[in-house]
């Protein structure tokens, strides 16, 4: 027994301790004894029942219950307008259950006369969950049952997102706590089915990090068939493939994703072409949606009697804005002194899509939370951003209450305050983009790379040499002063020790140097 126990300890991954590596969390721990002590050796000493993943699951369940409790008024009194907005308990589930014929047995995309403005897998989820509610008709009991069934499944998907985020980087599982307790997830998690797409992308990123591009592409394709945004990660993979000269991972993942998407969409397109095409037609023809930049502009233009933007003009401007942002992101990726991490590029592209899109629903915040936890796990910026999103969430319902109730402005939130909340949400998201971009441009500021790692989320790109880089006469990352700092000083600050195939924190410097030597020499 004495001979095998050290071997068991060598197989455990040493963790970054949040209370040591994040000054904000360190201050919060003063009431419970301060940051975790050195002799606890996280990842080497067994924590008993309360492992990291079990604690994360407990936190997620508590957050999911809170999310459902927020809808308590509507669960008791029903989802009626404008009360559901005043009580901030609106959800798309009851609305679609009653207005799209789901309560009467209509199955989206298979009924030739019914139109459903969501991608295929979302339509399938909406139809299957309606089958799970006993009875027939749009009674209050069945409406509540439909909400509860979907809320329970959302909670399950939430746990999947948290676990996938925790396992992508085995040295930093606690970063997934951001996903578990994010106020944005609590407030907006059960508005719509977005959590399904978030879970599929998170699982896809997990398998890509484990160098399983076929399975990763499968989940990315299924996520795209649920909500279009997971396909944006392919842009990040393309940039990393160009930078590293490793195109195979990009092509395999893309082909797998395209195959999965076609396997889901092609049968529906054949059986019901009009129903399948309706989602794309609806997206193209709809006017500016709530909380988008374009909607805010039209509100101000209407108040000031200026020319408002038509759907066609918004489509063109939104596309131009997104393309411009992607060009800037590509330039950053190809000129940075060190190859960006996959999560950083994915976050920037998805955030650019959100800011330029013609609609921003409050639940879109779910898209960014796991990506930020991987791209920049810093709690201060995270909480500031979440505070702005929470304010926008409340302002959206108060504005909808005003326009649906027809009440006097003094008893509601007036348009200028709603527009300011929209602008605050956009500024907060843009601020995060700047911080992530700055981490790419100055790698010594990257919260992960300061620990001596390269790209634990990047799969085959992790530790890869540069194949193509536009040289702007900046010093290579390998000669930046921060690369010469002894790892021991970093360990003292973060409590991190790496173990690649065994070894203790005292020998972690050598193991890190050897495993990433090629990447450092190449810059």
Burial letters 459-493, b for 16+ CB under 10 A, else e: bbbbbbebeebeeeeeebbeebeebeeebeebbee
Task: Please state, as a whole number, how many other Cβ atoms lie within 10 Å of the Cβ of residue 281.
Answer: 12
Summarised one tens digit per residue, pLDDT across range 351-387 is 999 999 999 999 999 999 999 999 999 999 999 999 9
Dmax over CA atoms of the chain, in Å, equals 81
| Residue 139 binned pLDDT confidence (cut-offs 50, 70, 90) | very high
Reported as half-sphere exposure (CB side, CA atoms, 13 A), residue 448 has a value of 28
- For residue 118 the two structure tokens come to 């969501």
- Which residues does 67 contact at the CB level (< 8 Å), separation at least 6? 151, 155, 185, 186, 187, 189, 190
Helix axes 311-335, 342-356, angle to 10 degrees: 160
What is the DSSP code (8-state) at residue 107? Answer: -
pLDDT confidence tier of residue 451, bands split at 50, 70 and 90: confident
pLDDT per residue as tens digits for the range 463-494: 999 999 888 766 555 433 333 333 333 334 33
Provide the CA 392 distance to its chain's centre, in angstroms: 18
Please give the Cα distance from 405 to 171 (Å, whole number).
51
- What is the rounded distance in angstroms from the CA atom of residue 410 to the CA atom of residue 420? 17
- 520 has pLDDT over 50: no
More confident: 313 or 513: 313
Q: What is the pLDDT of residue 140?
A: 93
Per-residue pLDDT tens for 38-68? Answer: 555 555 666 667 788 999 999 999 999 999 9
Find tokens 């890509």 and name the residue: 208
pLDDT value at position 494? 37
Q: Is residue 158 within 8 Å of 340, Cβ to Cβ?
A: no
3-state class of 42 per DSSP? strand
Q: Are 418 and 462 in contact (CB under 8 A)?
A: no
Q: Which pTM value belongs to this model?
A: 0.85
Question: Distance between CA 138 and CA 301 in Å, rounded?
Answer: 40
pLDDT band at 310 (very low <50, low <70, confident <90, very high): very high
Percent over 70 (pLDDT), the chain? 80
């Amino acid at each position: 027994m004495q001979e095998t126990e050290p071997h068991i300890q060598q197989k455990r991954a040493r963790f970054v301790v949040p209370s040591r590596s994040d000054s904000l969390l360190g201050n919060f721990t003063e009431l419970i004894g301060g940051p975790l002590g050195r002799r606890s050796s996280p990842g080497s000493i067994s924590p008993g029942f309360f492992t990291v993943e079990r604690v994360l699951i407990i936190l997620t369940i508590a957050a999911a219950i809170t999310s459902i409790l927020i809808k308590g008024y509507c669960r008791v009194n029903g989802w009626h307008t404008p009360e559901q907005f005043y009580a901030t308990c609106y959800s798309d589930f009851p609305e679609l259950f009653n207005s799209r014929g789901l309560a009467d047995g209509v199955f989206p995309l298979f009924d030739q006369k019914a139109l459903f403005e969501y991608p295929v897998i979302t339509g399938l989820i909406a139809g299957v969950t309606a089958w799970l509610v006993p009875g027939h008709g749009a009674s209050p009991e069945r409406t509540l049952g439909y909400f509860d069934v979907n809320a329970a499944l959302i909670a399950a998907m939430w746990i999947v997102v948290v676990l996938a985020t925790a396992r992508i980087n085995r040295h930093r599982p606690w970063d997934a706590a951001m996903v578990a307790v994010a106020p944005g997830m609590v407030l907006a998690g059960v508005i719509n089915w977005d959590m399904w797409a978030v879970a599929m992308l998170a699982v896809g990123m997990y398998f890509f990090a484990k160098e399983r591009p076929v399975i990763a592409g499968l989940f990315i394709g299924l996520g795209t068939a649920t909500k279009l945004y997971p396909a944006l990660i392919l842009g990040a993979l393309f940039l990393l493939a160009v930078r590293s000269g490793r195109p195979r991972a990009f092509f395999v993942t893309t082909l797998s994703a395209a195959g999965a998407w076609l396997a889901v969409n092609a049968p529906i397109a054949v059986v019901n072409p009009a129903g399948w095409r309706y989602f794309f037609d609806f997206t193209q023809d709809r006017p500016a949606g709530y909380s988008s930049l374009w909607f805010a502009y039209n509100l101000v233009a209407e108040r000031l009697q200026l020319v408002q933007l038509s759907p066609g003009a918004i489509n063109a401007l939104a596309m131009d804005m997104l393309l411009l942002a992607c060009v800037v992101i590509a330039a950053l990726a190809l000129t940075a002194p060190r190859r960006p991490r996959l999560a950083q590029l994915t976050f920037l592209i998805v955030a650019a899509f959100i800011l330029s899109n013609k609609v921003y629903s409050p639940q879109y915040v779910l898209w960014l939370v796991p990506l930020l936890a991987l791209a920049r796990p810093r709690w201060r910026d995270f909480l500031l951003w979440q505070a702005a999103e929470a304010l926008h969430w409340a302002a959206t319902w108060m504005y909808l209450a005003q326009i649906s109730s027809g009440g006097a402005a003094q008893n509601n939130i007036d348009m200028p305050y709603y527009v300011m909340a929209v602008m605050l949400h956009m500024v907060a998201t843009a601020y995060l983009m700047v911080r992530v971009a700055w981490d790419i441009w100055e790698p010594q500021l990257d919260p992960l790379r300061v620990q001596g790692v390269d790209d634990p989320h990047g799969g085959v790109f992790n530790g890869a040499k540069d194949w193509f880089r536009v040289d702007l006469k900046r010093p290579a990352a390998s000669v930046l002063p921060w690369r010469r700092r002894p790892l021991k000083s970093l360990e003292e600050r973060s409590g991190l020790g790496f173990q690649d195939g065994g070894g203790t924190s005292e020998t972690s410097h050598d193991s890190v140097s050897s495993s990433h030597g090629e990447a450092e020499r190449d810059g």
